[in-house]
Structure 1
Amino acid sequence: MTNFQRLCVIALCSTSLGVGVFRFSYTALMPLTIDQHWWDLHFATSLASSNLIGYLIGAIIAIFAIKEHMIRPVLILSALFGSISLIACGIIALPEFWYLSWRIISGLVGGLLMVLGPSFALKQVLPEQKNLLGLIAFSGIGFGVLLTTTLLPQVGHFSVAVAWYALGGLSIVLTLILAYMLKTLPQTHASDQPNLQVNPAALTDQQRLLALLVIAAYFMSAIAYIPHSLYWVDFLVHRLELPQSFANLQWMVYGSGSLIGALTAFFSVKRWGGMGALWRLYLIYSLAIFIPAYFSNPYLLTLSSFFSGVMNPATVSLSSILLADIVTAQRHRQAWGAAVMAFAIAQLIGGLGMGYLLVHHVEYQQLFAMGGSAMAIGVGLSLWMVYAKKQPQKASSMAL
């Protein structure tokens, strides 16, 4: 196996665990925890929000506290503690603080994996390999979602505890693969890294503006995807009163879409360029989120599941690649870390806000309308990006 292949697997496992398993698996579990009387809607929503708090903390730690030589052990420990957190949540009838703490830990390690994994890999590949790496790395989100959506319907009917344990077992397998790939990957020195610039040139004002617009649009996408990522299954089962089997199928459709999301971004970039692709993908994302706000037809709901699934990893992958193009791979961890932190802040604000509204009897359909509107703002920001790119560049001594 080549080093490039190892780096692809490392990034793939990092995103699969960080978001696909530690984050998204709870969406499919949430209605089961309510139906099997593990906890009520209020506490189930609180657990979702606690994971978002942890994700923000993890992103901040990844940016400001993790040195280059610490990345390998941090990735392994993050995957391990995330796996333990899933198993810990399967122990029934413990104080609420126990579950809240472990969901925070799950979010924290997810943030670490999401920032450090792709950046670690991207920094060690040739410039011409970064788009392919991004394709594979962020396919991990869909890979993780698809694994959990395939697994949970099979085991969830036994009990919620069995579902948590199954997720923990799956995570341990991915953790072992990640650890093996990191162990067999040769240690690299700074001078050996192909993307290294000893003194990278200062960013221009245009580069700074473009990077900020990418991050701002990514911020809006974090708010937009909350209704699907947190409440989709619960909405279908408890609001539209559709069968659990149909809801599970929809989550599998979402996962199937997620699996090809990064591939969609890859070919969209080839067709329209990075910035041209971004606003088009955000526009489709916005329409997909709006669908359940106004329609309950099963076929339209399936379209919403699929395209929301596709666009989540597609826009994540594309945002990461765009930042690498704008600020260079050497600055990528800082810029991508800032994007993930902005995403986490938006998730936290949006998650707490929507959770509060839901508990206070706001309809799910209104939440989807809010999400679609937030994504529409993201479309506007990405169009501004296209306009800003066409303006003459001015040098600046300011660093990102």
Structure 2
Amino acid sequence: MDASTTKDQTTIRANRAWMGILSGFCASLVGIGLARFAYTPLLPAIIGAHWFQPSAAVYLGAANLAGYLAGALAGRPLAARMTATSTLRTMMGLATLSFFSCAYPLDFSWFFIWRFCAGLAGGVLMVLAAPTVLPHLPPSRRGLAGGVIFMGVGAGIAASGTLVPLLLSQGLRQSWMGLGAISLLLTLVSWRGWPAEQKAPQTKPRKTPNSLALRALYAEYALNAVGLVPHMLFLVDFIARGLGLGLRTGAEYWVLFGLGAVVGPILNGHVADRLGFARVLRVTYLIEAGAVLLPTLSGGASSLMLSSVIVGAFTPGIVPLVLGRVHELLAHHPAEQKAAWSKATVSFAIFQAAAAYGLSYIFSRTGDYQLLFIVGTLAMIFAFVIDLTAGCRNE
């Protein structure tokens, strides 16, 4: 084989790899970035247009979290029956259909079902997208590639503060239709980029290697979900009402949160490629703990900016780190990686939903914003302690 042929084959493989990464980016943008986070700025408009009462509209938001948990559980069984690629395409289509369906609020149950379907699609896409793409890349590039894939989540958060208000100027129904059109376009862009994959054979479950380290990682990821909830749910309200700075100022900090979410996954993945996922993940817990605690220490602009950007960066940025750590722990057992990542995603989904309801209950009883951030900080510190303890026991 001559040098030109080898070069051509290398170029083809590189192009296929980047197409796979682009497909993964589109999947996370549609399934999580838009299907979950675009609802937040739409919520006041839904209430203002009298589509639903405030209490009902909040429950519709919770439907997405319930669907996400169901999707995280269903992802691997669906891929075993079809293929990962077919499942990914189907779920992106389902998320797209949910946007168009939500443009017509026929009744509460109709809207609830489609918000649940949007969450279901997001959970399946989170479980399957990156693990379908990353095995086709060199290990030294998987951190950066994972960062690009999960940057789609950050792009959705940023769009929730910029694109959605522009769509709302055309009307609420037009906003849902616009999100559906964007989702459809991204689905078509990703359609042919997924790596070729055969239907996975049914295999008897085996005991997962490195069980102690993996169980610790599941617990850490779950606690990380708890630590992120105060910012995800209460940051804007804390700034607007808790500090008395107004909704406009709160929205400005949410944009900073979104900008951090865009760059966080790529930066984290790139650093982890160089330093190792275990080391970067352990430091991450401490950085997150400090950033979550900052609003309780100072309500100054610099503290709020730093906290918004850092927590925003790690909201999607923690995902490629945990996925990379799963691959590190199961480097010699590639067949077990998807199962382990599915379990990690399920643990995250359960604790995120529980924290959302739990912290909302605490706030409804106490009205204390600082208590929420302290709970989040303690969760991050606990994750660090578990990681440190498990690391020492494995050394």
Which residue type is aligned with residue 278 of structure 2?
A: M
Matched, 1:354 2:353: no
- Contact 1:257/1:310 (8 A) holds in 2: yes
Matched, 1:224 2:227: yes
Match of 2:125 among 113, 137, 154: 113
Closer/same/farther in 2, CA of residues 203 and 110 from structure 1, 3 Å limit: closer
Match of 1:280 among 278, 283, 292: 283
* Partner of residue 376, structure 2: 371
Matched, 1:291 2:325: no
* Partner of residue 66, structure 1: 79
* Partner of residue 261, structure 2: 258
Residue range with higher mean Cα deviation, 143-152 or 322-331:
143-152
Q: How many residues matched?
A: 379
**How far does residue 62 in structure 1 lie from its aligned partner after superposition?**
0.9
Closer/same/farther in 2, CA of residues 272 and 73 from structure 1, 3 Å limit: closer
Which residue type is aligned with residue 304 of structure 2?
A: L
Matched, 1:214 2:217: yes
Residue range with higher mean Cα deviation, 341-350 or 360-369:
360-369
Q: State the structure with bigger RCO (CA 8 A, min sep 6), 1 or 2.
A: 1
- Contact 1:55/1:344 (8 A) holds in 2: yes
For 1:8, what is the secondary structure of its paired residue?
Answer: helix
- Contact 1:24/1:229 (8 A) holds in 2: no
Equivalent runs, 1:42-61 vs 2, <5 Å: 42-61=55-74
Q: How far apart, in 2, do the equivalents of 1:29 and 1:351 lie?
A: 19
- Contact 1:275/1:386 (8 A) holds in 2: no
Matched, 1:8 2:21: yes
Equivalent runs, 1:168-183 vs 2, <5 Å: 168-182=180-194
* Partner of residue 346, structure 2: 341
* Partner of residue 99, structure 2: 86
Closer/same/farther in 2, CA of residues 304 and 30 from structure 1, 3 Å limit: farther
Q: How far apart, in 1, do the equivalents of 2:236 and 2:172 lie?
A: 15
Give the percent of matched residue pairs that are identical in Structure 1 and Structure 2: 28
- Contact 2:47/2:57 (8 A) holds in 1: yes
* Partner of residue 109, structure 2: 97
Which residue type is aligned with residue 393 of structure 2?
A: A
Which residue type is aligned with residue 131 of structure 2?
A: S
C-alpha distance after superposition, 1:21-58 (max 9, x if no partner): 11222233334444555445433332222211111100
- Contact 1:11/1:137 (8 A) holds in 2: yes
Closer/same/farther in 2, CA of residues 251 and 67 from structure 1, 3 Å limit: same
Closer/same/farther in 2, CA of residues 202 and 90 from structure 1, 3 Å limit: closer
Closer/same/farther in 2, CA of residues 337 and 199 from structure 1, 3 Å limit: closer
Closer/same/farther in 2, CA of residues 295 and 171 from structure 1, 3 Å limit: farther
Closer/same/farther in 2, CA of residues 373 and 161 from structure 1, 3 Å limit: farther
**How far does residue 254 in structure 1 lie from its aligned partner after superposition?**
1.3
- Contact 1:16/1:140 (8 A) holds in 2: yes
Q: TM-score when scaled to structure 2?
A: 0.86
* Partner of residue 249, structure 2: 246
**How far does residue 144 in structure 1 lie from its aligned partner after superposition?**
2.5
Which residue type is aligned with residue 215 of structure 2?
A: L
Q: How far apart, in 2, do the equivalents of 1:99 and 1:132 lie?
A: 37
For 2:315, what is the secondary structure of its paired residue?
Answer: helix
Which residue type is aligned with residue 74 of structure 1?
A: T
Matched, 1:133 2:145: yes
Equivalent runs, 1:381-392 vs 2, <5 Å: 381-390=386-395
- Contact 1:294/1:365 (8 A) holds in 2: no
Q: How far apart, in 1, do the equivalents of 2:78 and 2:205 lie?
A: 22
Residue range with higher mean Cα deviation, 337-346 or 248-257:
248-257
Residue range with higher mean Cα deviation, 284-293 or 304-313:
284-293
Q: How far apart, in 2, do the equivalents of 1:6 and 1:167 lie?
A: 23
Closer/same/farther in 2, CA of residues 188 and 75 from structure 1, 3 Å limit: closer
Match of 1:124 among 107, 117, 136: 136
Residue range with higher mean Cα deviation, 114-123 or 129-138:
129-138
Equivalent runs, 1:29-40 vs 2, <5 Å: 29-34=42-47, 37-40=50-53
Closer/same/farther in 2, CA of residues 363 and 43 from structure 1, 3 Å limit: farther
Q: How far apart, in 1, do the equivalents of 2:64 and 2:95 lie?
A: 11
- Contact 2:69/2:350 (8 A) holds in 1: yes
C-alpha distance after superposition, 1:58-113 (max 9, x if no partner): 01101334217422222112112112222333334x42222222111111100000
Closer/same/farther in 2, CA of residues 303 and 157 from structure 1, 3 Å limit: farther
C-alpha distance after superposition, 1:264-300 (max 9, x if no partner): 2134325643222112111111222223345433332
For 2:193, what is the secondary structure of its paired residue?
Answer: helix
